[in-house]
Structure 1
Amino acid sequence: MSDFNLLKRDLNYFEKSQLDEIHQAFDMAVSAHKGQKRVSGDPYISHPIAVTKILASYNMDHESIIAGLLHDVIEDTDITKDSINKQFGPNVAELVDGLSKIKQVEFKSRLAAQGENFRKMLLAMSNDIRVIVIKLADRLHNIRTLDVLSKERKTRIATETLEIFSPIARRLGMRDLSLELEDLCFKTLYPKRYNVLKNALVQIEKRHKDVMEKILNKIRERMMKAVVQLISLSSRKKNIYSIYRKMKRKQLSFSELTDVYGMRIIVNNEMDCYRALGILHQLYLPVSEKFKDYIAVPKPNGYQSLHTVLLGPSGVPMEVQIRTQVMEEKASVGIASHWQYKIGDIDTKEHRWLENLIDIQKAVGNPEEFIQSVKMDLFNDEVYVFTPKGDIVELPQGATAMDFAYTVHTEIGNHCVAAKIDRQLAPLSTILTNGQTVDILTSKNATPTAVWLDVVVTPKAKSSIHNYLRGQQRRESIQLGKELLDISLQKFDLSISQVTEEKIEHLMDHKRYKSLDDFYASIGLGALSPHKVVEEVISNDPSSEPRVKGEQKKALMIKGTEGLIINYAECCHPIPGDPIMGLLTSGKGMMIHTESCKEILPYREDTDRCLHIQWSIENTKKVFPVVLLIRVMDHKGVLASVASTASKISINIINLKVDVVDDKQVDLWLTIAVTGRKQLASFMRELRTIRNVEKIQRYIKK
Structure 2
Amino acid sequence: MLRQYELVERVLAYDPDADEAMLNRAYVYTVQKHGTQKRASGDPYFSHPVEVAGLMTELKLDQDTIITALLHDTVEDTLTTVEDIERLFGPDVARLVDGVTKLSKIETMSESERAAENLRKFLLAMSEDLRVLLVKLADRMHNMRTLHYIKSEEKRRRIARETMDIYAPLAERVGMYEYMREMQLLAFEQLEPEAYATITGRLAAIRSEEGAQVDAIALEIKKALAEAGLRVEVSGREKHPYSIWRKMAERHVSFEQITDIMAFRVLTDDEDDCYKALGILHRAWQMIPGRFKDYISTPKMNGYRSLHTALIYSNAMRVEVQIKTRDMHERNEFGLAAHWAYKQGGKPDGQVGWLRDLIEILESSHDAEELLENTKMAIYQDRIFAFTPKGSLFQLPKGATPIDFAFAVHTNLGAQAVGAKINGRHVPLRTPLGNGDVVEIIKSRTSEPQLSWLGFVVTGKARAAIRRFVRQKERAEVAAIGRKLYEEIVERLPTKIGKKALADALKRLKMASEEDFMFAIGAAKLDDRQVMEALVPGSAANIPEENWPSQRRAIAVRGLTPGMAFKLAACCHPVPGDRIVGLRRPGKGVEVHAIDCMKLADGIDADWIDLSWDARTDGAIGRVRAELYNRPGTLAEMAGIFAKNHANVVNLEMTQRENPFHTYEVDLEVRDLAHLTRIISALRASDAVAQAERI
- SS of the equivalent of 1:59 reads coil
1:259-290 per-position Cα deviation (integer Å, ceiling 9, x unaligned)? 22232121221112222223334443433543
Q: Give the equivalent residue in structure 1 for 2:618.
A: 621
Q: Give the equivalent residue in structure 2 for 1:47.
A: 48
Contact 2:568 2:592 in 1 (8 A): yes
- Rounded Cα–Cα distance in structure 2 between residues aligned with 1:308 and 1:566: 53
TM-score of the superposed pair, with normalisation by structure 1:
0.88
Contact 2:103 2:122 in 1 (8 A): no
- Rounded Cα–Cα distance in structure 2 between residues aligned with 1:245 and 1:633: 49
> In 2 relative to 1, CA 435–658 (structure 1 residues): closer, same or farther, beyond 3 Å?
closer
| 2:158 pairs with one of 156, 159, 171 | 156
- Rounded Cα–Cα distance in structure 2 between residues aligned with 1:321 and 1:640: 53
Q: Give the equivalent residue in structure 2 for 1:567.
A: 567
Q: Give the equivalent residue in structure 2 for 1:188.
A: 190
Q: Give the equivalent residue in structure 1 for 2:7.
A: 7
- Rounded Cα–Cα distance in structure 2 between residues aligned with 1:171 and 1:333: 12
Which amino acid in the other structure matches residue 189 of structure 1? L
Contact 1:67 1:95 in 2 (8 A): yes
Contact 2:56 2:65 in 1 (8 A): yes
How far does residue 153 in structure 1 lie from its aligned partner after superposition?
1.5
Q: Give the equivalent residue in structure 1 for 2:646.
A: 650
More off after superposition, 252-261 vs 21-30: 252-261
How far does residue 112 in structure 1 lie from its aligned partner after superposition?
1.9
How far does residue 492 in structure 1 lie from its aligned partner after superposition?
7.2
Contact 1:526 1:589 in 2 (8 A): no
> In 2 relative to 1, CA 417–107 (structure 1 residues): closer, same or farther, beyond 3 Å?
farther
Which amino acid in the other structure matches residue 427 of structure 1? P
> In 2 relative to 1, CA 338–674 (structure 1 residues): closer, same or farther, beyond 3 Å?
same
- SS of the equivalent of 1:308 reads strand
How far does residue 367 in structure 1 lie from its aligned partner after superposition?
2.4
- SS of the equivalent of 1:82 reads helix
- Rounded Cα–Cα distance in structure 1 between residues aligned with 2:491 and 2:326: 79
- SS of the equivalent of 2:464 reads helix
Q: Give the equivalent residue in structure 1 for 2:581.
A: 581
TM-score of the superposed pair, with normalisation by structure 2:
0.89
- Structure 1 vs Structure 2 CA RMSD: 3.5
Alignment of 1:345-356 (within 5 A): 351-356=352-357
Contact 2:622 2:676 in 1 (8 A): no
Q: Give the equivalent residue in structure 1 for 2:406.
A: 405
> In 2 relative to 1, CA 632–90 (structure 1 residues): closer, same or farther, beyond 3 Å?
closer
Q: Give the equivalent residue in structure 2 for 1:70.
A: 71
- SS of the equivalent of 2:310 reads strand
- SS of the equivalent of 2:612 reads strand
Q: Give the equivalent residue in structure 2 for 1:22.
A: 23
- Rounded Cα–Cα distance in structure 2 between residues aligned with 1:48 and 1:130: 15
Which amino acid in the other structure matches residue 610 of structure 1? W
How far does residue 442 in structure 1 lie from its aligned partner after superposition?
0.5
Contact 1:525 1:590 in 2 (8 A): no
> In 2 relative to 1, CA 556–138 (structure 1 residues): closer, same or farther, beyond 3 Å?
same
- Rounded Cα–Cα distance in structure 1 between residues aligned with 2:494 and 2:660: 62
- Rounded Cα–Cα distance in structure 1 between residues aligned with 2:634 and 2:251: 47
Q: Give the equivalent residue in structure 1 for 2:455.
A: 454
- Rounded Cα–Cα distance in structure 1 between residues aligned with 2:22 and 2:127: 26
Q: Give the equivalent residue in structure 1 for 2:279.
A: 278
More off after superposition, 455-464 vs 1-10: 1-10
> In 2 relative to 1, CA 479–106 (structure 1 residues): closer, same or farther, beyond 3 Å?
farther
How far does residue 550 in structure 1 lie from its aligned partner after superposition?
8.5
- SS of the equivalent of 2:14 reads coil
1:215-239 per-position Cα deviation (integer Å, ceiling 9, x unaligned)? 4445445545544333x32222222
> In 2 relative to 1, CA 9–199 (structure 1 residues): closer, same or farther, beyond 3 Å?
farther
Q: Give the equivalent residue in structure 1 for 2:265.
A: 264
> In 2 relative to 1, CA 358–342 (structure 1 residues): closer, same or farther, beyond 3 Å?
farther
How far does residue 132 in structure 1 lie from its aligned partner after superposition?
0.9
- Rounded Cα–Cα distance in structure 2 between residues aligned with 1:134 and 1:248: 33
- Rounded Cα–Cα distance in structure 2 between residues aligned with 1:233 and 1:637: 64
- Rounded Cα–Cα distance in structure 1 between residues aligned with 2:70 and 2:227: 50
Alignment of 1:295-444 (within 5 A): 295-339=296-340, 351-444=352-445
More off after superposition, 410-419 vs 678-687: 678-687
- SS of the equivalent of 1:229 reads coil
- Rounded Cα–Cα distance in structure 1 between residues aligned with 2:179 and 2:19: 26
- Rounded Cα–Cα distance in structure 1 between residues aligned with 2:65 and 2:216: 44
How far does residue 434 in structure 1 lie from its aligned partner after superposition?
1.4
- Rounded Cα–Cα distance in structure 2 between residues aligned with 1:99 and 1:667: 62
How far does residue 152 in structure 1 lie from its aligned partner after superposition?
1.7
Q: Give the equivalent residue in structure 2 for 1:519.
A: 517
How far does residue 72 in structure 1 lie from its aligned partner after superposition?
0.4
- Rounded Cα–Cα distance in structure 2 between residues aligned with 1:316 and 1:635: 53
How far does residue 447 in structure 1 lie from its aligned partner after superposition?
0.6
- SS of the equivalent of 1:43 reads coil
- Rounded Cα–Cα distance in structure 1 between residues aligned with 2:368 and 2:487: 38
**1:682 and 2:684 aligned:** no
> In 2 relative to 1, CA 558–200 (structure 1 residues): closer, same or farther, beyond 3 Å?
same
Which amino acid in the other structure matches residue 294 of structure 1? Y
More off after superposition, 635-644 vs 583-592: 635-644
More off after superposition, 135-144 vs 295-304: 295-304
1:317-375 per-position Cα deviation (integer Å, ceiling 9, x unaligned)? 33222211211111111121122689996599xx2222221121111112221111222
How far does residue 694 in structure 1 lie from its aligned partner after superposition?
8.4
Q: Give the equivalent residue in structure 2 for 1:165.
A: 167
1:583-639 per-position Cα deviation (integer Å, ceiling 9, x unaligned)? 3211113233334445445878x9x932333334x24322242456x7899999876
More off after superposition, 67-76 vs 314-323: 314-323
Contact 1:2 1:30 in 2 (8 A): no
Q: Give the equivalent residue in structure 1 for 2:590.
A: 590
- SS of the equivalent of 1:388 reads coil
How far does residue 685 in structure 1 lie from its aligned partner after superposition?
4.5
What count of residue pairs does the alignment treat as equivalent? Answer: 687
- Rounded Cα–Cα distance in structure 1 between residues aligned with 2:603 and 2:197: 66
Contact 1:580 1:594 in 2 (8 A): yes
Unaligned runs of 5+ in 2: none
How far does residue 384 in structure 1 lie from its aligned partner after superposition?
1.1
More off after superposition, 179-188 vs 60-69: 179-188
Instruction: Provide the identity percentage.
Output: 34
- Rounded Cα–Cα distance in structure 2 between residues aligned with 1:592 and 1:514: 31
Q: Please identify the structure whose Cα radius of gyration is greater.
A: 1
- Rounded Cα–Cα distance in structure 2 between residues aligned with 1:484 and 1:157: 50
- Rounded Cα–Cα distance in structure 2 between residues aligned with 1:403 and 1:4: 50
Contact 1:238 1:260 in 2 (8 A): yes
